[in-house]
Structure 1
Amino acid sequence: MIRALALVAAVAGAGSAEAFECVHIPDVADAFLRAQASEFQFVPVYGQLSYGEVAPGVVKYDEGSFPPASTLYEARMVGVALGPDGFDVPFDAPFTLEVQCFLEHCGYMGEDIPVLTFLRAEDGVYSASVSICPVFTFHSPSPEELAIVVECQRGGTCEPDPDR
């Protein structure tokens, strides 16, 4: 609750995108543990995504208006999913991406860069949600970050970075 209030206060007092700052920036171990503790099933996937006909950021709004709080986009993720031996399970599937916004600030999942994301899986259908302070999406993850997720999967050391 305190974090949520700090976020609202930070954004409400911000006059520009440069003034916005996330209160908590999760790391890959934190994301893995949150996904594992969730009532939902998540699949960690490393790869690239592509969008359907309309990509986030393409829709323009009148000056002075804000984007909707949530918008759904059709996307496809191609890469490798996390298996028992690491990121080695071929993955190519469509998913629904929910982009969440707060005032004029919106989440983002890049199309032209490698992404590690934890896709929610339900009855063979995948989805993801990204906000201005994403929890389950990491752009251009380092080899070390991918190795941490593999280590978490294997039951090894899986501790979030306390400095983030």
Structure 2
Amino acid sequence: MIRAAVLALGCALGGPALALSCLPPDVAETYRRAAEAEETYIVAQGRLTFDPARLPSTDMIPQQKPAHTLIPARLTGQALTKSGFDQAFDRAITLDVQCFGPWCASAVPGTEYLGFLERRDGGYVLTVDPCGGMGHPDPTPAMLDKALECLQGGSCMRTRR
């Protein structure tokens, strides 16, 4: 009886372990990535709206998933200037939802986002991936302050969690 239980446990655990390991998302790190990129970025925070039925699903069944799912979206809030999040921002954007193998990013419509938006072809794109990407949902005042501090040339180091 014990041998059967051990054998069953061994079979259950004997397959390959699949896990995605990501560093916790950090506003300072995201800011530095955007600042060092060849592409042009703006920083905005606000409510993200889109059709959630267009999100790719996450499951461990091997299948062909697109690396990028482009979803029409809207971000309504404020863009960051040297004096803070004080410029009205209400625009149609593209939400670029990326998958890494079986893991896909997710987003929830109506959620507040701090987004680092890439300017592409006259519009803006917010890229999210399973490790966070260029968007931070439900930003805290400290996260917004860190983005402003980075823009103003202050300390732009990873914040401790």
TM-score when scaled to structure 2?
A: 0.78
Change (3 A) 1:103 1:148: same
In the aligned structure 2, how far is the partner of 1:143 from the partner of 1:48?
15
Q: Cα 1:103–1:123, aligned 2, differ >3 Å: closer, same or farther?
A: closer
- Alignment partner, residue 100 of structure 1: 98
Q: Give me the whole-angstrom Cα distance separating, in 2, the residues matched to 1:150 and 1:105.
A: 31
- 1:22 positional shift: 2.8
Q: Give the number of equivalent residue pairs.
A: 145
CA distance in 2 between partners of 1:60 and 1:137 (Å): 19
- Structure 2 match to 1:70: 68
Alignment of 1:39-118 (within 5 A): 39-52=38-51, 54-57=53-56, 65=63, 67-118=65-116
Amino acid at match of 2:118: R
Match of residue 159 from structure 1: 157
Contact 2:51/2:109 (CA < 8 Å) preserved in 1? no
Task: Select between 151-160 and 119-128 the one with higher mean Cα deviation.
Answer: 119-128
- The match for 2:28 is 29
Aligned equivalents of 2:115 and 2:96: distance in 1?
A: 13
- Does the 8 Å CA contact 1:50/1:76 hold for their aligned counterparts? yes
Distance 1:150 1:53, change over 3 A: closer
Per-residue CA deviation, residues 21-59 of structure 1 (Å, 9 max, x unaligned), is: 4332330011111111111111111001111585315x7
Match of 1:8 in 2: none
Q: Which amino acid aligns with 1:91?
A: F
Is the partner of 2:54 in helix, strand or coil?
coil
Q: Distance in 2 between matches of 1:60 and 1:133?
A: 14
Residue identity in the other structure for 1:116: L
Q: In 2, are the aligned partners of 1:54 and 1:73 still within 8 Å (CA)?
A: no
SS in 2 for 1:98: strand
- Aligned residues of 2:98 and 2:104 also touching (Cα < 8 A): yes
Letter in 2 for 1:98: D
CA distance in structure 1 between the partners assigned to 2:43 and 2:30 by the alignment: 10
- Which of 2, 17, 31 pairs up with 1:13? 17
> 1:3 matched to which residue of 2?
none
Q: Say whether the 8 Å CA contact 1:109–1:137 is kept in structure 2.
A: no
Residue 123 of structure 1 and its aligned partner are, at CA, apart by 4.8
